[in-house]
């Protein structure tokens, strides 16, 4: 198993972004529950093209197949509530 350091991982609280990245085959490597608050962060492995995909997400230029996206959203929620 490859050891990841902080620079190898994107940390986000955004469930929609996380589901979109999952849809585009980026790996969710963990869920970080902060002990000092109720905040939860999804940890995504940084891979080639990640930043471009995030920019496209925020500029509303990505296209997804709705049922596949919904399944990714269910997977993200499962990861959130099972940890």
78: Cβ contacts below 8 Å, ≥ 6 apart:
none
1: Cβ contacts below 8 Å, ≥ 6 apart:
none
The candidate with the shortest Cα–Cα distance to 46, out of 14, 1, 11, is 11
pTM over 0.95: no
pLDDT in tens, the chain (83 residues): 455 555 789 999 999 999 999 999 999 999 988 777 778 899 999 999 999 999 999 999 999 999 999 999 999 999 888 76
């Amino acid at each position: 198993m490859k050891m990841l350091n902080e620079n190898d991982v994107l940390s986000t609280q955004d469930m929609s972004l996380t589901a979109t990245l999952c849809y585009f085959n980026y790996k969710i490597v963990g869920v970080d529950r902060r002990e000092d608050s109720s905040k939860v962060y999804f940890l995504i492995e940084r891979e080639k093209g990640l930043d471009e995909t995030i920019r496209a997400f925020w500029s509303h230029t990505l296209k997804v197949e709705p049922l596949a996206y919904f399944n990714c959203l269910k997977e993200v929620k499962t990861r959130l509530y099972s940890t």
